[in-house]
Amino acid sequence: APMKLVVTGGAGYVGSVCAARLVEAGHDVTVVDDLSTGHADAVPDGVRFIQGDAADVAETLLSQGFDGVLHFAAKSLVGESMQDPGLYWRGNVLTSLRLLEAMRKHGTPRLVFSSTAATYGEPEVSPIPETAPTGPTNTYGATKLAIDYAITSYARAHGLAATSLRYFNVAGAYGRYGERHATETHLIPIVLQVATGDRDRVQIFGEDYPTPDGTAVRDYIHVHDLADAHLLALEHATEGRHEIYNLGNGTGFSVREVIDACRAVTGHDIPAAVAPRRSGDPAVLVASAEKARAELGWTPQHTDLQGIVSDAWRFTQQRARA
Ligand code: UFG
C-alpha cells in the first residue's frame, strides 16, 4: 500500500535514487535536504521538497502524520571525520537523535537508516555477517554505529519498526541520478574522471595488501539494487524491532580489477600509479548479505562489475554534456 514518507538527504547520491524508486512505487514522498552536499537538481521529480536541516524540519513536519522516515542525510567522508570529529558527532549523531525524538513525539512508526560497513572496522571474517563484532576504525563509522545503538533502544522502548542497512561500496547510477560529490574520494568516479580527462591518472592506494594482486578488495553494489532493499525494508518492518542488514553482492573486486573494468567500459588507457596505503583502509571488505536475501527476499540484479561501471560511465558522460 502507498505510504506517506519523509526522505532526508534525498538530494544526495543514494537518497535521490531511493526517493526516485519510492515515487515510482507509488509512495507519497517528501524530501528534506539542506543541500550542504546534495544538489537541488538531483531532487527527484514527483516529490515535495523542503530545504533545511533534517532534524529541524522533522520536528514540525512529522506532526502532519507520516508512515515512515528514510534517513540518508549524513556526513560521509572518512578522512574529514578524523580531522573534524565534532562535525560528524553533531551532523550524524545529534541530528539522528533529534530525528528519533521527533518521530517518537509524533508517533511516526517506521525508520530506515543508512548504516555502513565502516561499523565493522577491520573484519575478522570474510564475508562479513551482521553477527560479526563491530569495531569502527574511523569517526565516521563510530557515529553510524552509535546511531544504530540509539535506534535499537528506541525500537525496544517505543515500538519503532526500524531497519539499518549497512552499505558496502555503493556504485553505478540510476537514470539521471548518480554520484557527483564536490569532494570525490570514491574509486569508480575517480577512475572515470581520468577517462573524461578531468584527472591525469588514478593513484592505487597500496599494492602490498594480502590479496591476490596486492590491492584492496571491496564489494561493489549497484545503487539500484541498494534502493530496492530500502523498499523491501519498509514493507518488512515490524513494530518494536530493529533489524540490521548488510547490503553487498558477496563478491570482492580489487582496485586493479576495478580500473581494468573502467578501461574496458571507457576504452581509455587510464594511467595508474601506485601510492602509499590510505590510512584506515581494511584489506578486504566483502558482505554476507544472506540475511537480507532470506528475510527481505532481496536479490541483487545488477551484480556484474562492468555493468555497474557502465551505468556510472553513462551518468558521467550525461553530466559532461549537460
Ligand atoms: N582507492 C584507490 N585510489 C583512489 C580511491 C580509492 O586506490 O583514488 C582504493 C581505496 O584505498 C579502497 C578502494 O579503492 O581500497 C575503495 O575506496 P573507496 O574510497 O571508493 O571506498 P571505501 O571502501 O574506502 O569506502 C567505503 C564506503 C565508505 C565507508 C568505507 C568503510 O564508501 O562510506 O567503505 O571502510 F566508510
pTM confidence score = 0.98
Check residue 213 and give its pLDDT: 98
188 Cα nearest atom in ligand 1: 20
Task: Compute CA distances 192 → 14, 39, 316, whole Å.
Answer: 19, 20, 8
Give the highest mean pLDDT range of 179-188, 211-220, 276-285.
211-220
User: Which protein residues touch ligand 1 with a CB less than 6 Å away?
Assistant: 76, 78, 116-118, 140-141, 169, 185-187, 190, 202-205, 216, 218, 255, 278, 281
> Looking at the predicted structure, is the pLDDT value of residue 113 above 80?
yes
Residue 259's alpha-carbon distances to 60, 166, 217, 255, 270, in angstroms, are 47, 25, 12, 6, 8
- Closest residue by CA, ligand 1 atom 30: 118
pLDDT of residue 202 exceeding 90, the answer is yes
pLDDT digits (tens, 9 = 90+) for 131-145: 999 999 999 999 999
pLDDT surpasses 90 at 245: yes
**Among 281, 284, 308, 309, residue to substitute to test ligand 1 (most atoms within 8 Å of Cβ):** 281
- Grid look-up 515490524 returns 238
Does the pLDDT of residue 174 top 80, yes or no? yes
Prediction ipTM score: 0.95
7: CA distance to ligand 1 center in Å? 26
**In this structure, are residues 285 and 168 in contact, taking their beta carbons and an 8 Å threshold?**
yes
Its sign, for the CA torsion 79, 81, 83, 87, is: positive
Q: Are 144 and 194 in contact (CB under 8 A)?
A: no
- Predicted confidence (pLDDT) per residue in 175-187, tens digit: 999 999 888 999 9
Ligand 1: centre distance to CA 187 (Å):
6
Closest residue to atom 4 of ligand 1, CA basis: 187
Q: What is the pLDDT of residues 7-21, one digit of tens each?
A: 999 999 999 999 999
Calpha distance 38→7 (Å, rounded): 13
Residue 112, burial from CB neighbour count under 10 angstroms (0-12, 13-18, 19+): buried
- Other beta carbons within 10 Å of 94: 14
SS3 per-residue string spanning 160-188: CEEEEEEECEEECCECCECCCCCCCCCHH
140 is catalytic: yes
Share of the chain above pLDDT 70, in %: 100
**Ligand 1, atom 20, residue with closest C-alpha:** 186
Q: Which residues contact 320 (CB under 8 A, 6 or more apart)?
A: 196
Kindly give the distance from the C-alpha atom of residue 318 to the centroid of ligand 1, in angstroms, as a whole number.
24
DSSP state of 26: T
Distance between CA atoms of residues 264 and 1, nearest Å: 43
Q: CA 88: distance to chain centroid?
A: 16
- In this model, does residue 73 exceed pLDDT 80? yes
Distance CA 26, CA 175 (A): 18
Considering 140, 167, 209, 245, which one is annotated as catalytic?
140
Task: Look at residues 230, 214, 226 and name the one whose alpha carbon lies nearest to residue 277.
Answer: 214
The packing angle between helices 223-236 and 13-24, to 10°, is 60
